[in-house]
Amino acid sequence: MDSIQVREACDRRAWVRDGDRSSCKECIKGFSVTRRRHHCRVCGDIVCHSCSATVYLLNTTSNVGRACHSCARPSLDHSPPRRRFALTSAPWCESSSSAWHADCVICLDPFTAQSDAHVVTLPCQHAFHRQCADPWLATHDECPTCRRPLAQDRTAFLEFIFF
């Protein structure tokens, strides 16, 4: 998969029980000590690691999970993200280093002189590496730290509707 897809997670109660599947739904190879079971976070079926990919999940606290290739594949059958922000416009503003905490709370890496050009601050004054916050804000309209609501960019919304 070339890009990470955004999907709705299924409820854990809908997952296929471990005992109900002895082989991967995708490659049909049996599970063992070296080929472990992974629940697809989108459809709830069970696949091996080789037959799964990372997806962004809209309705979970973790926001990232594994999905079978069928669910992770780009397709018109899947709904696009609910929100779309033009991250070069509001709510972003370039940050001065005095507003930063020591580390980006998403990746936990420290802010450094080399990352100065790639650090941005939300209106609530929480700072992030831009590459860390972009995926979050593609599907959320709130700060990942304090959950303060962010104004949606109407231009991006109209581009999405009329695309």
pLDDT category of residue 31 using cuts at 50, 70 and 90 = very high
The C-alpha R_g of the chain, in whole angstroms, comes to 19
CATH superfamily entry for domain 93-161 = Zinc/RING finger domain, C3HC4 (zinc finger) (3.30.40.10)
- Identify the CATH class of 5-72: alpha beta
Return the minimum-mean-pLDDT range out of 15-19, 65-69, 152-156.
152-156
pLDDT digits 0-9 by tens, 60-107: 777 788 888 888 876 544 444 444 343 433 333 444 444 446 778 777
Report the distance separating Cα 134 and Cα 137, nearest Å: 5
Q: What is the pLDDT of residue 148?
A: 78
Q: Where are the domains of the chain?
A: 5-72, 93-161
33, pLDDT greater than 80: yes
Q: Does 5-72 match 93-161 in CATH topology?
A: yes
Read out DSSP for 53-108?
EEEEETTSSS-EEEEEHHHHS--TTSPPPS----TTSTT-EE--GGG--SB-TTT-
The whole model's pTM is what? 0.45
